[in-house]
Amino acid sequence: MVAEKRFVSPEDVETIQLDWGTLKWMNTPEVTGSSGFSAGVVMLEPGKGHERHTHPDSEEILYILGGEGEQTIADEERTVTAGEMVHIPSGVEHSTINTSWEPLRFLAVYCPPGPEAEIREAAEATIFPPGEFPDV
């Protein structure tokens, strides 16, 4: 069911916890009715991240909100910090690792939406309903 919300707070959406991070998908077809893109906030704890992977049918943008990390796109690797944006073309291998002592937080955007649903369905994902949060 599509809620078609226009204003979304973190308490309105579920929290997805994986061994490499915590995510809140604030804009998905199910939350806002958006069909063009999805967007969510991702938090990686120190030393955590996700291994190289691709999204064959979606471009991705990461906007770094806080912390510091190592971003790999294809064979290019660099340090990213707050205020920087990363563009990952469809089908290109990439990974993000938190290399700092504090959480690495970023906004992730997929165009078109889809990869967020795959992450949610991962076997290792723990889903917390809206308003419930994991013990951190």
Q: Is the pLDDT of residue 1 over 70?
A: no
pLDDT tens figures, 64-119: 999 999 999 999 999 999 999 999 999 999 999 999 999 999 999 999 999 998 88
Predicted TM-score (pTM) of the model is 0.92
Does domain 13-128 match CATH 3.40.630.10?
no
pLDDT tens figures, 31-74: 999 999 999 999 999 999 988 999 999 999 999 999 999 999 99
Q: How far apart are CA 64 and CA 44, in angstroms?
A: 11
